[in-house]
Amino acid sequence: MRRTAALFLALVLTLAWAGQVQAKDIVLGVPLPLTGAQAKFGEIIKKSYEIAQEEINAKGGVKGDKLVLKFEDSQGKPEIARSIVEKLIDVDKQPVIFAEYTSACAKAVAAVAEERKTPYLVVASAADEITQQNYKYVFRLNPSNAYYASGLLGFMAGVVKPKSIAILYESSDFGTSGAEEMAKSAEKAGMKVLLKEKYEKGAVDFKPILSKVKAARPDVIYMVSYVMDAALLMRQIKELRVDAGLFAGGAAGFAIPEFVDNAKDAAEYVVTATLWSPQVPFAGAKEYFETYKAKYGSEPSYHGALAYSSLYVIADALSRAKSMKQDDIRDALKATDMTTAFGPVKFLDKDGYQNQNFMETLVLQVIGGKHQTIWPEKYASAKYVFPIPKWRDRK
């Protein structure tokens, strides 16, 4: 009994201590999927926020106040993400919300933020609708899914000139809209869509579908997949010797370093759309990449760069805002005009989007076991390899 009492006391003390944050700190709660199937991305984003937080605080914080981030796990469930945000707005009186990763959660959070008139900066959620709802308080740093492959389309039009395409995609929100957009753009560009097939995430064996792709002989195989499906797809493509003019990935799984680690030699020459690479010529990009690598021993993906830059956007808006009131912060965010490690940031209303940041997207190619930026050529860190050798002729 006494032990229970002691335990209880300890619990109360921790709670009390946790509640007593220094008055000068700006405490910001951050909802992220830290457990469950999406946790991987939640973690990259969390780590990147932490780097940005340290840097911003080292430079004097926001008007001399320190930023303190408090991460909360949403498990990737919209219900819980909403609980967290309702709490942040209502109980903690937090004037600005950011983060959350999956589009389902971001949609739930965005609706709440709009209703409660609290600015919300979306990080890395790609679903187009989020910034098409006439929301006044929802901002998005990353281009929406419809724009992810714009760079890749440029590369195809300029170099590959394909006549046909096969599209494989994961049946998620991200995969579906990515595939739809690509099918539309491909048809507009005069390509024939030979195949458009989806699969459930976690699939083990792609060989049946791949042998069908092989029989269709497309010029380009375009795949929208999360992490390991991407590696599995390429491994099995190599195994079946499915030859195509170009193997292209639609960001996400293909653009993160684990893809190369796991697909190994099967990853060679694969190109992928991406939003960011450490080779972009924006101040801080390289430094962020190196810091992340030194600190955590792994390489960050564009999701991390987005998170890192988004905290700078938040800090910038907070320091320009007339007060810590929601509307003032919203106005400050709307007036954002800065260059981050992710590129120039401006929230525009155009093409049916509101408060959306538009930007050029890049193309990476795996050359010599490393992701290299190959397109647009002004950002290229290496010359693209095209045409690519057939599987049989590779060593």
Partner 1 sequence: MWVQLEVFLQTLISGVLLGGLYALIGLGMTLILGVMKIINLTHGQLMMVAMYVAYWLFTLFHIDPYVSLLIAPPLLFLLGMFLQKTLINPVLRVESILPHNQVILTVGIGMVLQNMATIFFTSDYKSTPVDYATDAWYLSDYWKDAPFELSLSYPWTVSFLLAVGITTALWFFLAKTDTGKSIRATAQDRDAAALMGVNVGLMRVITFGLGSALVAAAGCLFIPIYYLFPALGSQFTLIAFVITILGGLGSTMGAILGGLILGIFESMTATYVGMGWAPVGRFAIFVAALVFLPGGVASLLKRKAVTK
Partner 2 sequence: MKRSAPLIVLAGMAALPFLGLSSYVMHLLILVIMWSVSGMAWNLLGGYTGQVSFGHAAFFGLGAYCAGLASFHLNISAWYGFPLSIPFVAATALVMGLIVLRLRGPYFVLATLALGEIMRITAENLTDLTQGNLGIMIQRTWVEKTGYYYVILAVAALTFWVVKLLAESRWGYYFVAIREDQDAAESLGINTTLYKTVALTVSAVITGFSGAFYMNYMGYIDPQVVFSLGDISILTIMVVMVGGVATYWGPVVGAVIMVLLAEVIRSLPYVGTAYQTLFGVLLIVIIIYLPNGLVGDRQTLARLFKKKGAAV
Q: Where do contacts with partner 2 occur on this chain (CB under 8 A)?
A: 1, 11, 14-15, 18, 34-35, 72-73, 77-80, 82-83, 86-87, 89-91, 104, 107-108, 111, 115-116, 127, 129, 133, 171-173, 175-177, 200
Distance CA 384, CA 369 (A): 14
Residue 31, preceding bond cis, omega within 30 degrees?
no
Please say which residue, 178 or 218, places its beta carbon nearer to partner 2.
Answer: 178
Residues 215-234 that bind partner 1 (CB under 8 A): 215, 227-228, 231-232
Give yes or no for a contact between 321 and 331, defined as CB atoms under 8 angstroms apart.
Answer: yes
Least distance in angstroms from the C-beta of 263 to partner 1: 8
Strand partners, 366: 371
Least distance in angstroms from the C-beta of 282 to partner 1: 27
Least distance in angstroms from the C-beta of 90 to partner 2: 4
Q: Is the backbone of residue 173 left (phi > 0), alpha (psi -120 to 50) or beta?
A: alpha
Please say which residue, 98 or 226, places its beta carbon nearer to partner 1.
Answer: 226
Tokens of 185: 């753009």
Which member of 209, 220, 314, 332 binds partner 1 (CB under 8 A)?
Answer: 209
Which member of 29, 40, 108, 272 binds partner 1 (CB under 8 A)?
Answer: 40
Least distance in angstroms from the C-beta of 262 to partner 1: 5
Residue 208 engages partner 1 in binding (rule: CB under 8 A): yes
Least distance in angstroms from the C-beta of 229 to partner 1: 9
Report in angstroms the alpha-carbon separations of 58 from 54, 64, 146, 272: 6, 10, 37, 36
Distance CA 100, CA 121 (A): 9
> Locate tokens 């450490």: which residue?
278
> 303 touches which of partner 1, partner 2, none (CB within 5 to 8 A by kind)?
none
CA atoms within 13 A on the CB side of 271: 31
Q: Are strands 67-73 and 26-32 parallel, antiparallel or unpaired?
A: parallel
Size of the site for partner 1 (CB under 8 A): 42
CA proximity to 372, closest of 235, 260, 284: 260
- Longest Cα pair distance anywhere in the chain, in angstroms? 77
Residues 280-319 that bind partner 1 (CB under 8 A): 298
Please say which residue, 72 or 331, places its beta carbon nearer to partner 2.
Answer: 72
Residue 42 engages partner 1 in binding (rule: CB under 8 A): yes
Least distance in angstroms from the C-beta of 163 to partner 2: 27
Give yes or no for a contact between 146 and 130, defined as CB atoms under 8 angstroms apart.
Answer: no
Give yes or no for a contact between 156 and 182, defined as CB atoms under 8 angstroms apart.
Answer: no
Residues 240-269 that bind partner 1 (CB under 8 A): 240-241, 258, 261-262, 264-266
Give the interface with partner 1 as residue ranges (CB under 8 A).
Answer: 34-37, 39-40, 42-43, 171, 197-200, 202-209, 211-212, 214-215, 227-228, 231-232, 235-236, 238-241, 258, 261-262, 264-266, 298
